[in-house]
Amino acid sequence: MSTRTLLLHECGYRCSNPACRMVLTLDIHHIEYVSEGGGDGPENLLPLCPNCHALHHQGHITRESLRTWKRLLLALNEGFDRRSIDTLLTLDILDGVMVWGDGLLACAPLVASGLLEVEEKSEIIEEEHLLFGRDKVNRVAKYWMKLSARGRVFVDAWKRGDQDAAVRASDAAKAAQATKGRVGSAVNAISGVPRRGKRDRVRG
């Protein structure tokens, strides 16, 4: 695999600036300039869209921000996947999103790490059985998912290129234990483990 292809896979074929993520033609930028002794290895290269590349050379995007984006992109790719990266950036734009159980499980690593928080929004639906004339009670589980406070701090720091703040938020998220209970409850609900109140009916 060529170095360029490796780098494009690393950034998901998008600009490495988390506030941009443009999918147009990408330039391969040397974080440490060749004229200053920087090498051509992938560890010193970062794909940027032409606009962000120009903004860097105009002094609007600092070299330290580029270094931070490179390091965090590598860390996120190792710890999660490209979909998780897009999920974090999307939920930074939205207030939250309602998902079914499979959507929750797809984001389980982010929930377990404390970067996302989940609130169960289950409904008890009463239906009349057409053949036997008996009521049928169904429990429909949905989940409201949004960035946690730590997740928002992490994404804000990532966009700013503030590595120290991003790492602090990430470390705090990993140390959080409260999320484990929410994930466990959600997984139990998805897998059909009986829960208290499952047969309660909602009328009206």
Given a cut of 50, is residue 193 above it in pLDDT? no
Residues 6+ apart with CB under 8 A from 87: 107, 110, 116
Least confident of 50-54, 124-128, 191-195: 191-195
Residue 110, token pair as written in the block: 């982010």
* Mean pLDDT across 24-44: 93
- Report pLDDT for 4: 92
90 in Cβ contact with 115 (< 8 Å): no
Give the residue with greater pLDDT, 190 vs 149: 149
In whole numbers, what is the pLDDT of the chain averaged over residues?
83
Give the residue with greater pLDDT, 24 vs 199: 24
Given a cut of 60, is residue 188 above it in pLDDT? no
- Reference 196, options 185, 187, 204; nearest CA is 185
Given a cut of 70, is residue 156 above it in pLDDT? yes
Given a cut of 70, is residue 161 above it in pLDDT? yes
pTM: 0.72
pLDDT digits 0-9 by tens, 105-155: 999 999 999 999 999 987 766 666 555 555 666 777 899 999 999 999 999
Rounded to 5 degrees, φ, ψ at 98 are: -90, 130
